[in-house]
Amino acid sequence: MKFVQTMCIALLIVQTAAQFACAQESTATSPQTSSAPAADEKQRSARETRKRLEQLACGPEGVHLAHHTEKNSQPLPEQPPDKGLIYVIRNGSMLGAAIQARFAMDGKWVGVNRVSNYFYLEASPGPHYFCTDANGRGLLSLVIEKGATYYLQQKLTMGGTDLDLIDAEKGKEYVAKYHRSTFEEKHKN
Amino acid sequence: MIDFADPTLSPQAFGGLLHTATVSVLLAFGLVLNVPLNTSQGSPASQKLLPFQPEETSDSVLQDSSPQSDLHASPPNTPKPALTDGTPVHLKFARAVVSSQVIAGEKVPLEVVDPVLVGNLVAISPRAFAQATVTVAQAKRSMGRGGNLELKIESVRLADGELVPLRAVKDVKGGDNQPALLTSLGTAGMMYWAASPLVFLFYVKGKSATIPAGTEITAYIAGEFPLDPSKFHTADASPQEKNAPK
């Protein structure tokens, strides 16, 4: 009788311990088998993404910038080591020459170009959102890295306005050839 | 329920039952935790659960002879296993990535295709989570010009849950940013290449750049990462050992 009692107790203990061990193992292995969490997220449509990017990138309506072109050659800025340097260039195409091309970063209008103009600005490392506005809006998002230089081109075409990331070689060529823009916010009375 | 007033339950019998029960408890935990027990030393109450020490199991009266017991045992002077720099990791995109539907800074999920073995340890399990960040996103442009999409490959999760960094090229010696890899994917005429040690660049002509779900790429472990064998499972002998770093 004692033997049976002992065996029952032992079996009970072994069963409990085995369940405990199984539970420990399943907890430990769960990170390996879990699939990517973002994979289940609903993807935005292109339209929703464009709307979201416009909100992040473009400045408010009703802001106007008075533009001036520096005809004299201007010294170029030194690359800041802890920030990214961004040149915004508008090429020499005469298409839409009468239209100013505004440029906004992270929801604020920060500059404007006319034909064959450029200006530059600095940006902290991390994601930034850019918008150009002329006869339509061009959008672009970039992760800026510190110590890097970026060349963005405002391009007015028959089909609208684009904002392109162009390679450094071409960008330097344009900057050397074009004139720098200066601007100030224009207040309408 | 034990009746202590029961005259049939003698003190000797009760003591024996208690002793047997205690031994059973220790025996059960010893089996489950793979801890060797030495029953020859004093009373069960004075025994301690010893940490797992493979070299000392010869002193034990109870030895676990199951194959699990020596899975993680390594001979004394064996170097600690490590995931080496440049180990290839085959990944696939868990979902489609379309340049018109993502914004720079967003994370993109990937999955490990083949397990990565270090010796006999499964360092990275199949379907393990990996991640990339969108660094450039541009929808299709006017006049039929295509979009742009650049991804920075970030990290992969090891089998023990740790995240380790990845890069886009096997070897970063020389530090030049010339494309090290150019791969044409049959689907949608898409091409991708490693634009820098960290960044994959995708190009699709004429429309928004799209990486279909399931697209496979190869990234590489960036750095040396020693592995604690007790936190990893071992693999059965399989042809997947070809992924082990040399």
What 8-state DSSP symbol labels residue A30? H
Between B244 and B149, residue with greater pLDDT: B149
Q: Which residues of A77-91 are buried (b: 16+ CB within 10 A; e: fewer)?
A: eeeeeebbbbbbbbb
CB atoms within 10 A of CB B167: 23
Give B-chain residues touching A162 at CB under 8 angstroms. Answer: 141-142, 145
Across the interface, of B101, B125, B159, the residue whose CB is closest to A49 is B101
The tens-digit pLDDT sequence of chain A (189 residues) is 576 677 656 655 656 555 544 344 333 333 333 333 343 456 789 999 999 999 999 999 888 888 888 888 778 899 999 999 999 999 888 888 888 999 999 999 999 999 999 999 999 999 999 999 998 899 999 999 999 999 999 999 888 899 999 999 999 999 999 999 988 887 665
User: Out of B16, B20, B138, whose CB is closest to A140?
Assistant: B138
Given a cut of 70, whether residue B181 has pLDDT beyond it is no
Judge: A38–B95 Cβ closer than 8 Å, yes or no: yes
Inter-chain touch A43–B134, beta carbons under 8 Å: no
Residue of B nearest to A5 (CA): B17
- What's the whole-number mean pLDDT along residues B47-61? 34
CB A166, CB A101: distance < 8 Å: no
pLDDT for res A111: 94
pLDDT tens readout for residues B10-51 = 445 444 544 555 545 544 444 444 433 333 333 333 333 333
**A14 to B100: CB separation less than 8 angstroms, yes or no:** no
Strands B210-211 and B82-83: unpaired
Residues from chain B contacting residue A45 (CB–CB below 8 Å) = 101
With CA atoms as reference, the chain A residue closest to B18 would be: A6
- Maximum Cα interatomic distance, chain B, rounded to a whole number of Å: 102
**One-letter amino acid identity for B214?**
G
A52:B148 CB<8 A: no
Cβ contacts (< 8 Å) between B126 and chain A: which residues? none
Ordered alpha helix ranges (H), chain B: 11-33
ipTM: 0.73
Cβ contact B21–A6 (<8 Å)? yes
- The rounded distance, in Å, linking the Cα atoms of A97 and A101 is 9
Task: Flag if B142 and A162 touch (Cβ within 8 Å).
Answer: yes
Task: Mutation target for B interface from A19, A143, A150, A158: give the one with most B CBs within 10 A.
Answer: A143
Residues of A with CB below 8 A from B29's CB? 17
| Contact between residue A83 and residue A113 where contact means Cβ atoms under 8 Å apart | no
